[in-house]
Structure 1
Amino acid sequence: MRLSRIFRFFAPRGLLGRALLIILLPLVILQAIALQLFYGNHLDVISRRLAAGVAGDVGMIGELITRDASAESQARIFREAAWRLEMALAFEPGARLEAPQSRRASLPLLPLEDDLATAMRERVALPFDTDWQTDPRSVIIRVQLPGGVLHVEAPRKRLFTSTLYLFMIWLVGSALLLFGVAAAFMKNQVRAIRRLAGAAEAFGMGRDLGAIKPEGAAEVRQAAAAFNRMQERIRRFVAQRTDMLAGISHDLRTPLTRMRLALALLPAPAQEDAAALTQDVEEMERMVAAYLAFARGEGQEQPVPTDLVALVEDVAARARRDGARISVEAPEALTMPLRADGFRRCLGNLLDNARKHARRIAVAVEQVARPEGGGWATVMVDDDGPGIAADQREEAFRPFATMSAGGTGLGLAIARDIARAHGGDILLEDSPLGGLRARVRLPV
């Protein structure tokens, strides 16, 4: 479990990163094993053999010079070594090596110094030192002979093989090539999935972007085609529901209008008795209008860039004209995609509910940014009324749920329906004023 949590913590969050990790991780492990097998076994054997060959040649030259130290013999040995062994030789008669110490600076990743030093100790068995820094093409070996110091310049090409570098180029090049091909391929697949996710998110927020083009892998194209069919079915359902509700509105309002007209035409002595019936008819009309607004929703209105602060100020000004005491605290401007008419209805319903139960109302607008971009706009409506018990707040959003006397029980239901159509939501909380707070969250 602990390893699983560690892997989830360090693993990429996105599909593209995880897919590339699944593709490249086995390849990297395989190449690392191949490199270890080559570097740890094959190259090690070759390096030791090459170093042993150079050390053996140096030991043979030192033995020949020790046996015959004449100038003629040394000249012949030097010529043969330069021609046959590609080594430049020099001899200092009577010289001594003081504190032999190798100057190490070889090619990276190759164990040349250690292998040559080991071979010299095994095959020469005389004091020596090596210089890898003075000449970039050769290694200078100095050996203490009985009669002086032997200087040997051995070409580095005799001590290493370029196979490792070719092998490394092949490993890195193939990995980069595979990474490029996999990244390009997976990016196209992820782009199609992201486009599908964006279209689903926009459609869920009521933004009609039309059908999306199926692309990518067969499964992704199948999902895109299914999404397009789902969009069409939902649009057809909404259109049919709207037409049906328009008919219901006409059928219900016509008899109610006739009833109101009949009550208004009653003689004066009966008007007092008919007043209660008139109020009932008006209440029925309000209930029908509220129900139709709830059922119809805001599906026909498209979001457009709107200044949320100006909209809130306008709704609050209308409520003040109706006698409400409302204060508004907001930034200068906050432009975001909104269905202006729908959100006016949402905020108006919240203010109407607050006016029925409170004397003081405070509205605040805030924006909370997210590190990855975008954020949330929050509209908070606070009042000093009696509030709603915490265990009953979710029940208050159910259609026709009246938490107190009066009202149709559709105000909060319609408000939440509109907020969710924008991709947000409404939450009920305790208010600092002592009553209820309605928090509206909308994506910016």
Structure 2
Amino acid sequence: MPRLRDITPRGLYARSLLMVVAPVVLILALMTWYYYDSHLAEVNRKLAQAIARDAAQIQSFCDAHPDTLMTQQQLERDLDMTFTCNHVDPAEGGPRLVHSFAYGKTLTEELSIRLGVPVDVRVDPDTMLHFRFASGSGTAEILIERKRALVVNSHFFIVWVIASSLLMLGLAVAFLNQQVRSILRLSEAARAFGRGRDSPGFRPSGATEVRDAARALLDMKSRLTAFADQRTAMLAGVSHDLRTPLTRLKLSLAMMEQSDELAAAQSDLDDMAMMLDEYLTFARGEEGDEPIPLDLAQLVREAAAGFGAHVAVVGPASISATGRPLALKRAINNLISNAVKYATDVRVTVLDGPHAAEVHVDDNGPGIPPERREEAFRPFSRLDEARTQNTSGTGLGLTLARDTARAHGGDLRLSDSVLGGLRASLRLPH
């Protein structure tokens, strides 16, 4: 069963416009129908009845006194009509008034009923109506201005109604444009914020509810920005402070006699140093990297070039995008590095879609089971069962890559690769 929302427009502007236009059109149609079918028809019938009463007086005069000139002139002045009791040329007076025309049919019927004889109604180019009917021993003819018998300017009413309706619709459309424009600006600002961009010219505008929503968005943005800045500053401070004791520990171990236990401890310290380096790199990149227009395809090729010629890049030579170059390059570098660690064949595919650009990193490694792919995005997660064991790394590569993608309004997903291993798909909206 079709639902109302399946046949109505989906956009707010189109729905609001439909709510304004549909009632106006319906009311205009009903008013026109009532005006013509009821009011105007009744007015013309009353006019026809008045004409028929005057014609009956003329019929009585022609039957009783057809040759009294002075009385005829007096009667013409009283009735504001011109008539002839014994008309000679029946061809004069122009074509017949079409009887299928509602008002012409009404006039003819009223005359015929009142006079008791058939009436021939004609109209000439000078907008005069000629009524001819049998009277006494001849044919009587009455001349009358058509505007006395028919409402000929009724279309002016419809013209005024349509003109006023169009004026009201124009005002309604202008009002809707203003309101919808405020909502669209709010939507664009929210979308830009979700992609990590600023909207410097955005200000709350429109209706009170839209302004409240805009203020709530700005407040949420300021709070999240403050939280992110605080987190970044804390991360950078902790990482920097830990480097000093970590360096002392490495120096102390280097001065000790070498052993297997000492080598394991040095390896752990190296992993900790690598982890701190990633923390610092991430923190510095978040602080100094600003969204700018960039060539995503060229950025991917630069990131892949650091891994040697065995990492192939497939796709167009240039893709326009907007984002933080350092953060994006670091995220793509993490994805390629993760694939190179666990596979011998790595391929990077760059796609430019209508709504988003995508970077697919495919490998022929052991892959990750579908039920554990979300776990791979957790910080410090190491899925050694699904990947080769004894590999270096901090377990932050996929986590930071997904954070970067989502900060740009996109996402990072894992799926099965065409090469038989794992595919990491990074999506960035235009």
Residue aligned with 1:378, SS: strand
- Residue 39 and residue 355 in structure 1: after superposition, are their counterparts in 2 closer, same or farther (change >3 A)? same
The answer (yes or no) to whether the contact 1:95–1:148 under 8 Å persists in 2 is no
The answer (yes or no) to whether the contact 2:44–2:103 under 8 Å persists in 1 is yes
Aligned twin of 1:372? none
Residue identity in the other structure for 2:10: R
- Residue 129 and residue 439 in structure 1: after superposition, are their counterparts in 2 closer, same or farther (change >3 A)? farther
Are residues 1:11 and 2:11 paired?
A: no
The answer (yes or no) to whether the contact 2:62–2:136 under 8 Å persists in 1 is no
Are residues 1:393 and 2:373 paired?
A: yes
Deviation sequence 1:296-323 (CA, Å, 0-9, x none): 87365221111111112211222226xx
Aligned twin of 1:126? 117
* Separation (CA, whole Å) in 2 of partners of 1:319 and 1:143: 109
Aligned twin of 2:303? 315
Residue aligned with 1:209, SS: coil
Aligned twin of 2:105? 114
- Residue 265 and residue 169 in structure 1: after superposition, are their counterparts in 2 closer, same or farther (change >3 A)? same
Gaps of 5+ in 1: 370-374
Are residues 1:421 and 2:421 paired?
A: no
* Separation (CA, whole Å) in 1 of partners of 2:336 and 2:14: 47
Residue identity in the other structure for 2:357: A
Residue aligned with 2:308, SS: helix
Aligned twin of 2:247? 257
Are residues 1:332 and 2:330 paired?
A: no
Residue identity in the other structure for 1:307: D
Give the CA deviation at 1:420: 1.0
* Separation (CA, whole Å) in 2 of partners of 1:73 and 1:363: 113
The answer (yes or no) to whether the contact 1:206–1:299 under 8 Å persists in 2 is no
Are residues 1:84 and 2:79 paired?
A: yes
Residue aligned with 1:442, SS: strand
Residue aligned with 1:320, SS: coil
* Separation (CA, whole Å) in 1 of partners of 2:303 and 2:85: 102
The answer (yes or no) to whether the contact 1:65–1:74 under 8 Å persists in 2 is no
The answer (yes or no) to whether the contact 2:364–2:419 under 8 Å persists in 1 is yes
Give the CA deviation at 1:129: 4.4
Give the CA deviation at 1:434: 2.2
Residue identity in the other structure for 2:334: N
Residue aligned with 1:298, SS: helix
Deviation sequence 1:155-177 (CA, Å, 0-9, x none): 23113447855543554344334
The answer (yes or no) to whether the contact 1:298–1:418 under 8 Å persists in 2 is no
Deviation sequence 1:211-255 (CA, Å, 0-9, x none): 843333333333333333333323322222222122101122222
Residue identity in the other structure for 1:116: L
Aligned twin of 2:98? 103
- TM (norm. structure 2) is 0.83
Residue identity in the other structure for 1:396: A
Which of the residues 376, 397, 418 maps onto 1:432?
418
Identity %: 39
- TM (norm. structure 1) is 0.80
Deviation sequence 1:39-80 (CA, Å, 0-9, x none): 4443332121112223444454455445566xx458974885
Note the 1:4-403 alignment, pairs <5 A: 5-6=3-4, 8-22=5-19, 25=22, 38-62=35-59, 64-65=61-62, 72=67, 77=72, 80-81=75-76, 84-87=79-82, 92-93=87-88, 102-103=97-98, 111-131=102-122, 135=125, 137-143=127-133, 150=140, 152-161=142-151, 164-165=154-155, 167-169=157-159, 171-210=161-200, 212-267=202-257, 270=258, 274-291=262-279, 298=286, 300-320=288-308, 325-369=310-354, 375-403=355-383
Single out whichever of 30-39 and 10-19 deviates more from structure 2: 30-39
Give the CA deviation at 1:265: 2.9
The answer (yes or no) to whether the contact 1:129–1:141 under 8 Å persists in 2 is yes
- Residue 399 and residue 152 in structure 1: after superposition, are their counterparts in 2 closer, same or farther (change >3 A)? farther
* Separation (CA, whole Å) in 2 of partners of 1:50 and 1:10: 47
Gaps of 5+ in 2: none
* Separation (CA, whole Å) in 1 of partners of 2:130 and 2:316: 78
